[in-house]
A and B are shown apart, each in its own frame.
Chain A
Amino acid sequence: SQQQTTDFNYTPSHQKPFIQPTTGTTVTTHQDIKQIVEVTLGSKGVLNQAVKLPKGENVNEWLAVHVVDFYNQINMLYGTITEFCSPVTCPRMIATNEYEYLWSFQRGQAPISVSAPKYVECLMKWCQEQFDDEAVFPSRKDGVFPARFCDKVVIPILRRLFRVYAHIYCHHFNEILELNLQTVLNTSFRHFILFAQEFNLLRDADYGPLLELVSELKDRE
């Protein structure tokens, strides 16, 4: 467990007192992330504008397009670090030591602890099944969205997709930095939270370990 407390790339400030790095290796990654976000994301409100519902458009269609887009973005991002996120490096789907996400394989059965790659695999498959379901994500011209599409489909998917960002930020951010993908990750995540904010899709509790980073990104103009 000593090892677990030292592999955070992103650490919420309230957890810092509990982490005791060995002398000479003080990690100020939270500060580092802030700086990087500062540098890479400019200050124009372009994304804030882009998430707004176009005049006269059906809100469900707008939500659906974005859910699929974020799914694809996360697939791309996670795809680049699959070499570094294995059942050995990440035997549990965690984001800092405070958050572990479990997967429920069968309705009515208790969700269980799985490795991070297994969790992501299950999650992506679960999303894809819904996208392929004509009754959930209609593809035909005359196809309509199910009742309470936002509450029953959009929010549950976004809540889970968020966890992949959380795992990447908390446990693979240094690798992302080395691969020079921080701009891409930050842009994608910022777009995600601005979209969620615009349509009131996620609550503070859903942001768990990244709540501080989220408020940082939200406040930017």
Chain B
Amino acid sequence: ILKSPKKLPQDFYDKATSNKTQRLVSVCKMYFLDYYCDMFDYVISRRQRTKKVMQYLEQQKTVNNVSATELNDEWYSYLQKEHEVLRKRRLKPKHKDFE
């Protein structure tokens, strides 16, 4: 990449080193770092929660002999809670008004 001539605008370096651009670049990097950390954290912990709930329901079925209807209800009420959490993630205030 070092060998390829870069067709940058003449004033590129002035603009690139300006405080405004530098600030935008660091905000952008932080945003992505934060986003991907948070996103992976959500995906992994959600899977763990689901696994626990399924184990619990399985146990209720075999050990305590709870009816299928009840287990079904419990499963759907769990999904409903997860659904609400996910919807809130979409609605949380974002950093889009940074500039």
Say whether A27 contacts B25, CB under 8 Å: no
**Shortest Cβ distance from residue A48 to the other chain B in the assembled complex, whole angstroms:** 12
Binding site for B on A (CB under 8 A): 6-7, 9, 25, 27-29, 32, 35-36, 46, 49-50, 54-58, 61-62, 64-65, 68-69, 72-73, 75-77, 79-80, 82-84, 89, 137-139, 141, 174-175, 177-181, 184, 187-188
Q: Which residues of B contact A69 (CB under 8 A)?
A: 35, 39
Please give 19 more A-B residue pairs, beta carbons under 8 A apart, in addition to A61-B83, A178-B16.
A9-B7, A46-B40, A54-B50, A56-B50, A65-B87, A65-B89, A73-B32, A73-B35, A75-B96, A76-B28, A76-B31, A79-B28, A80-B21, A89-B9, A139-B87, A175-B16, A184-B32, A187-B32, A187-B36
Residues of A within 8 A of B84 (CB): 141
Q: Is B32 a contact partner of A79 (Cβ separation < 8 A)?
A: no
Which of these, A72, A82, A174, contacts B6 with CB under 8 Å?
A174
Determine how close the nearest CB of chain B comes to the CB of A54; give it in whole angstroms.
Answer: 5
In this complex, what residue of A is CB-closest to B26? A80
Residues in chain B near residue A179, CB distance under 8 A: 16, 21, 25
The answer to whether B86 and A56 have CB atoms under 8 Å apart is: no
The residue in chain A whose Cβ has the minimal distance to the Cβ of B86 is A61
CA distance A212 to B4 in the complex (A): 20
Residues of B within 8 A of A6 (CB): 7
Q: Is the CB of A79 within 8 A of B29?
A: no
Q: How many residues of B contact A (CB 8 A)?
A: 43
Listed by A's residue number, 14 A-B pairs whose Cβ atoms lie within 8 Å are A27-B4, A27-B5, A50-B43, A54-B43, A58-B83, A69-B39, A72-B35, A76-B27, A76-B28, A76-B31, A79-B99, A80-B25, A175-B8, A175-B16
B68 interface residue, CB < 8 Å from A? no
Contact residues in B for A65 (Cβ distance below 8 Å): 86-87, 89-90
Compute how far the CA of A89 lies from the CA of B90 in the bound complex, rounded to whole angstroms: 35
Residues in B with CB closer than 8 Å to A62 are 86
Q: How far is the CA of A100 from the CA of B54 in the complex (A)?
A: 51
Measured between alpha carbons, how far is A188 from B7 in the docked complex, in Å?
24
Q: Which residue of B has the minimal Cβ distance to A28?
A: B4
Query: 7 shortest A-B CB distances, which residue pairs?
Result: A56-B79, A174-B6, A65-B90, A80-B24, A83-B15, A32-B1, A184-B32
Q: Is there contact, CB below 8 Å, between A25 and B5?
A: yes
Which A residues are in CB contact (< 8 Å) with B75?
A: 56
Which of B43, B87, B98 counts the most chain A CB atoms within 10 A? B87
B79 touches A57 (CB 8 A): yes
Q: Do B28 and A54 touch across chains, with their CB atoms under 8 A apart?
A: no
A54, B90: Cβ atoms under 8 Å? Answer: no
**Complexed CA–CA distance, A65 and B84 (Å):** 12
